[in-house]
Each structure stands twice: as structure tokens, then as C-alpha cells.
Structure 1
């Protein structure tokens, strides 16, 4: 275990907060799974807990292997993966599966494994890397609207067009995050304003077309438009049932909560282990527990800001922003839905809600971010080692110069001593002769 921990490179703060969020998820998922077991009559609570454990274990395995890959490799990977993701989205568009009798056109089932997979989550990661690559490539070049539109925005709009019919909330989140990323990447604001206008215009045209020709293509336009209308309407509706149960759960929790596993609304609240798990957390752990989860996400957001600031390359900075910020915004959206600040969106609580592909895609994003911080640590370590080598070499040179000086001084002292010793007998002989005058006349 110690050796494994030592092999975890990168920002230790990000590792810590991700592990804490994953650990926190077990009790709410275990508690909320009783809704599926006793109300729907499916599986067992231990089975759901083990399943969630496997998902988290695979997720951390993905973080470990992804963070070992040098992050600059993802520039080329994004170019290869973008058309592949496009094909997956086209397949999902026409072959979306049904889960528990509900329309789940955002998902596909992986053959031979039986695991459902949300392709839009993977598309978001690949698209963010692709945009970061383009902005990093153009950092020292002049960006023109025409060139950037075809090289940058056409792929973005193509991916969004494939996601929008089945998943408006995810498409809106991706588009807003791409706009935020290009803003950070110093994309000209006048061009960005035009792009936002184009995006809104295309959305309006799509809605009008779907309303005029509802059978022309599979879409969920009526679903998410009804959700917006229900959110702004005072009349009772189906979404009000979910929101009311979530609000009852939050109100029941008060300050310290009812206690682990003692939630009542989990038996009535649909999607209590995924979309509305935050309401269950507040009911069981109170306002204190809900604020603790919020603070953890905010601290993770702070670590993203710090590591993005420390990154030496623009591509590294943009990767952290483009992959890290959506995780935090998705968490805030999930919490906002639970307290009725936002309409129902279907966004999960990252690293806490149950689910396989959502956890895995979040872990892949975290792994890439840690790969950036790992590289920066390696650069800092190399610089420290270089400075240490230079300091050692300078110390050796100084010691050599000092020894040379000492040797020269010793030699100088030796020569002086030799001259003094050769002069002393003559002095003595003169002195002796002065004492004996006859020796001066007759010699020895």
C-alpha cells in the first residue's frame, strides 16, 4: 500500500479530495438503494453497494493509468477520438436504449458486457481536449473568424447537434464550458459573441423544426421544454412530485440530519441514488453534511485554480480548466436542482451518485488533470535537481580554487623559509668573525 501511494504522482490535494468524495458516496448510495430494492423490488442493498464499489474501484484504476500518460499525448488522441465519438453519437442517436422501461436515448449498451454507456460524457472530454489543443496551437498566431469557424466551431457544433436532441442539459453545459474555455484561451471576444449568437439561432431553428415535424427525427424536445415550462409554472406537475419530495427530505434533515440510513424520502423519491442523492445526504446528515459536500467541491475547484496557475504550458492550463470546471459546475447544477433553484436536468453528482459511465468519465477527466500536475512536478523536480547539481559543481570548483590558493601560499611560505635558512649561516659567520679579528685576516 505504501508503494502504491508513493506511485501516485501529481497534485496530492486533488487526489485527497477525490478520494474523500468517493468515500462519502458509499453510505448515501447504500441507504438510497433501498428504494430500488423494497419499492421496485430489484436486487439487494448489499448488491448495489458492491456494484458501486466496483464502479469506484474501476474509476480509480482509470485515474491511475490515465495520469501515467504524458498529457501532451492527448493532443493527438483528441484528433483521432473526435470522429470516433461522432460515430458513437450517431449510433446513440438512432439506437438509444431503454432502461427500466424509461426512455434513455442518451445511452447505449456495450455488447457482450451489458454495461450501459452515456456517449455524451465521453464526447465532452474529447471535445474539451480538442478545443484546448486548438487554442494552444494558435496562442502565438492571429486568429481569424473564418479559419477558426471551420477548424474549431464546426466540430463543436457537429458534436452538440448530435447530443442536443436527446440531452439538452448536457449540450447546454458543454457549449457553456467551451465558451468559457475559449474565453480563458483569449479567443477574440467579438468572435465569441458572434458564435454565441449563432448557437442560440441554431437552437431556436432546431426547436421550431422539431415542433413542426415531430416525427422527422427522434428527440426529447417536448420533454425538456415541458420541464422548463413546469419549472416556471405554478400548476402541479410530475416534476413537482420529485422536487417536493427532495425539499421534504432537505427540510427533514435540519442541522444534523436524521442519521445514516434513516432517510424516509428515499422510499418515495425517484432516482434517489443518482439525480437526487444530494437531498438524501442532507436528510441523513443535515445541513452540516450538505455544506461539507459543497465545501469539498469548492476546495477541489480551488485546487484546479491553483494547479492551472502553476502549469507552465497553455495547453496544460486549458486542460485543467476545460476538464476540471465542468465537474464542479455539474455538481452545483445537481445541488441546484435538489433545492429547486434549477429545473430538473438529469445531471448526477460527480463521484457520489451511483452509476458506472458517469463515474468513469469523471475519473478519466481527473486522471488527465493529474497528468498535467504530475508533469509540472517532474519539471520542478528536474529544476531542483539541476540547481542542486550546479550548486554541487560550484562548491567543488570553489573548493578546488581554495586548495590551489592554499597550495600556492604554502609554496610561497616554503620558498621564504628556504631563503631565510640559507642566509642564516652567512650571518652567523660574519658575526663570528667580528668576534675573532684574526679570522678575518688569516681565514679559517
Structure 2
């Protein structure tokens, strides 16, 4: 056991949180997957459990590998990844596929392994690091808005516009997190207000175009409208899911009906992903619900602990940029299950089934652990990194 701990660095509590969420996820995913087996008619419950375990093992490999990388490399790496992300998003818009009955083509298939990969999740992670890099490099300079439009907001806008047609909720979350990050990073408030208004106007223009040319983006705006309308309605597919989720939560009681004994998992179409929190509450009750909330808020607390020990501006912004979205996504998922928020399609990090969400969450946690494990980085070491030098070292 001592040999294992010698090889893992960084905040031990974050490692424990990862292990706790990953191990706990086995039973809810196994239980909820009966919906896919008996309703959809594909695979077996044990097969889905094995797949989930394999994805978590791969996620651990990502987490371990990333936490060994000095975090200064993520600064230049974000610049190298921006063109890659843009190409992947364009390819997804053109060739994206639908997985597990989802109503949008957000995934591409990884060749030879047959696993879907949601490119918008990778794009969000890269964007947060890219924004953190920009803010750190300009921390002592007076912000020239025209320059920041080209250097910061142009690439950010391009990526968000490529995500928007297939995934409004992810676009909104990324945009919100970026605004929060630039606020923390000292970007002038008046410029943030201008960017916010511009984002709202751009979304409005997109909706008008989508309505004017419905064949170009079939069902996308209608899906957004139906989710918002069903939030206060009792009819429609989204309302049906929320009703079943509320029944599951109400059935749970103080200690739940017991592991694997959920009834509503047979009626919730996304019981192993989007609505897995409802299944957890039904099977483990209020005790299980509070425990999950506590673990995510413990992760948030540890993010702030890492912030206090970080010696560089980029390290602080990096931890905020990749750490807060994990907790924010968890809050949204749980709020949707409790009918406190419209249906968004966001998973519960490290618990819901799905490879992309698990891998990108592990990548983000790995970057946080890399920051917490570093004791000797200086701002000059990080900001002087040339992306081409990083590529050369990698090769």
C-alpha cells in the first residue's frame, strides 16, 4: 500500500473523492441499466456494469497520467489543442451520430473500439485552460478591449458557436464558467457586461436563423423550447421524465428502498445517465442524497484549498477554470432530477455512465492534482512556455 501512495501526488482528499464516487457508481449504474436491457432491448446489465468499470479504469489511467505532467505544459498545450478542437467540432456537426436515443448528434465514433466521444466536453475543458492562460499572461497589463476581442473572445466565440447547434446546455454552462473565470481573473467588469449582452444577442440571432431555416438544424430550437415549456407544464416527453424522477425521489424516504430495488428506473429513458441521481435517492433515500451532495461540496472545498497553496496566477486560474465546472455540472444534474431546473442532458460527474464525461472529469481532476503537487513552479516558467517547444519536447 505504501508503494502505491508513493506514486500518487497532490491532494489526497481529491484522490479519495475520485475513489469514493467511482466505487459508489457501480451499483446505481448496474441497477439503472436494466432500463436499457428490458425496455430498449440491448445488452445485459452485467455487460453495462463491465463497460462502466472499464471506462472508470481508463479514467483512472487518464487521471494518473495527467497528474504526473507539470501543469505549466497545460498553458501552451491549450493553444495547440484549439485548432484540433475546432476541427473536431466541425466534423461532429457534419458527421455526428446519435447515441442511446439522444435527440442531438453530439458524438463521433472512436474507430476500432466503437465508443462514442462527445467533442463539446473536450472543447469546454480546452477553452477553460485557454482563458486561464490569457488572463495569466495579461495580469499586469492594462486590458485593451480590441486586442482581447481578437486574442481571447474570437477563438472562444468560434468554439461556442460550433457547440451551440447540437448542445445548447453545454454552450450555456461553458459560457457562464468563462464569464466567472474572467471576472475572478480581473477582466474589467464593463467589458464582461458587453460580452454577456453580445452572447445573448448572438443566441437570439441564432434562434431566428434556425426558425427561418428549420431544415438546416432540424428540431434543435424546438427541443430547447419544449424543455423550457415542460419545466412548468405537465405534458410532453421532458415533463414525463421529470415526473418519473420526482416519483423516484418521493419514494426514497429517509433510507431508500434498497440497492437495486428502484421501480422508476424502468420508466426513466436516461436512468443511468441524466437522471441517475433520482435513482440514487430512490434506492438510498435522503441519506444517500445528502452524502452525494456532501462529496461534491467537499470537492469544491478542496479546490479552494489547492487555490490557497498555489504560487502562480495561472495555477490558481487553472484550478478554478477546470474545478468549478465539475461541481457546477453536478449541481445542475441534481437540480434537474429534483425539478428545480429544466432538463439539460448534463451527467452526474464520475457517477453517470458515459465515457467522455468520465474521461474529461478525470482529465480536469488530474490538472488540479498536478497543480497541488507542484511546489516550485514560477510564473515565468509557465508563461514563457512556447507551444511549439512543448510539441518538440513531446515528440
- When normalised by structure 1's length, the TM-score is 0.83
1:49 Cα shift? 1.0
- Distance in 2, matches of 1:215 and 1:46, equals 41
What is the rounded CA distance, in whole Å, between the counterparts of 1:235 and 1:7 in structure 2?
Answer: 53
In structure 2, the partner of 1:157 is: 157
8 Å Cα contact 1:165/1:219 also seen in 2: no
- What SS does structure 2 have at the residue aligned with 1:116? strand
Check whether the contact 1:256–1:285 (CA below 8 A) recurs between aligned residues. yes
Q: Does 1:246 align with 2:258?
A: no
Find the counterpart in structure 2 of residue 412 from structure 1. none
Q: Which residue of 2 aligns with 1:435?
A: none
SS of the residue 1:112 aligns to: coil
**Residue pair 1:39, 1:267 contacting (<8 A) in 2 also:** yes
Name the counterpart of 2:390: none
1:176 aligns with 2:215: no
Unaligned runs of 5+ in 2: 378-395
Task: For residue 102 of structure 1, report the CA deviation from its aligned partner.
Answer: 4.5
Greater Rg by CA: 1
Q: Secondary structure at the match of 2:98?
A: strand
Any conservation in 2 of the 1:94–1:218 contact (CA below 8 Å)? Answer: no
- Residue 105 of structure 1 aligns to a residue whose secondary structure is coil
Match of 1:209 in 2: 209
Q: Is the 8 A contact 1:304 1:324 kept in 2?
A: yes
Residues 153-179 of structure 1: CA distance to partner in whole angstroms, max 9, x if unpaired? 011110000001110000000000000
Task: Kindly indicate whether the alpha-carbon contact (under 8 Å) linking 2:248 and 2:264 is maintained by their aligned counterparts in 1.
Answer: yes
Query: Whole-Å Cα distance in 2 between the matches of residues 187 and 369 of structure 1?
Result: 23
- Is the 1:93–1:106 Cα contact (8 Å) retained in structure 2? yes
Alignment-derived partner of residue 103 in structure 1: 103
Q: Indicate if the aligned counterparts of 1:274 and 1:349 stay in contact, CA closer than 8 A.
A: yes
Q: CA deviation at 1:216?
A: 3.3
The Cα shift of 1:72 comes to 0.5
Shift of 1:39: 2.3
- The separation in 1 between residues aligned to 2:152 and 2:79, in whole angstroms, is 12
Query: Deviations 1:201-245 (Å, cap 9, x if unpaired)?
Result: 11111111111111234671221122112213x352211110111
Deviates more, 1:110-119 or 1:359-368: 110-119
Give 2:294's aligned residue.
Answer: 295
Could you tell me how far apart the structure 1 residues matched to 2:98 and 2:238 are? 20
Alpha-carbon distance, 1:100 to partner:
4.4
Tell me the CA shift for residue 65 of structure 1.
0.4
Hey, what's the Cα distance between the residues in 1 that align with 2:20 and 2:303? 16
For residue 43 of structure 1, report the CA deviation from its aligned partner.
1.2
Distance in 2 between residues matched to 1:211 and 1:21, nearest whole Å = 42
The question of 1:343 aligning with 2:342 is answered yes
SS at match of 2:344: coil
1:146, CA displacement in angstroms? 0.5
Structure 1 residue 325 and structure 2 residue 320: aligned? no
Query: Structure 1's 275 and 115: CA in aligned 2 closer, same or farther, altered over 3 A?
Result: same
Specify the alignment match of 1:84 in structure 2.
84
| TM-score, L = length of structure 2 | 0.93
- Structure 1 residues 186-335: aligned runs within 5 Å: 186-217=186-217, 220-232=220-232, 234-335=233-334
Which residue does the alignment assign to 2:128?
128
Tell me: higher relative CO, structure 1 or 2? Use CA pairs within 8 A at least 6 residues apart: 2
Rounded Cα–Cα distance in structure 1 between residues aligned with 2:131 and 2:145: 15
Shift >4 Å, 4+ stretches: none
Q: What secondary structure is seen at the aligned counterpart in 2 of 1:78?
A: helix
Deviation at 1:348, TM superposition (A): 0.2
Q: C-alpha distance in 1, partners of 2:221/2:22?
A: 34
What's the CA shift string for 1:281-313, capped at 9, x where partnerless?
Answer: 000000110000000000100000111122110
**Are the aligned partners of 2:272 and 2:352 in contact in 1 as well (CA < 8 Å)?**
yes
- How big is the shift at 1:101? 5.2
Query: What's the Cα RMSD here?
Result: 1.4
User: What are the superposed Cα offsets for residues 229-280 of structure 1, whole Å, 9 maximum, x if unpaired?
Assistant: 2213x35221111011101100010111001111111111111111000000
Contact (CA 8 Å) 1:93, 1:218: kept in 2 or not?
no
Q: Is the 8 A contact 2:226 2:238 kept in 1?
A: no
Aligned residues: 378
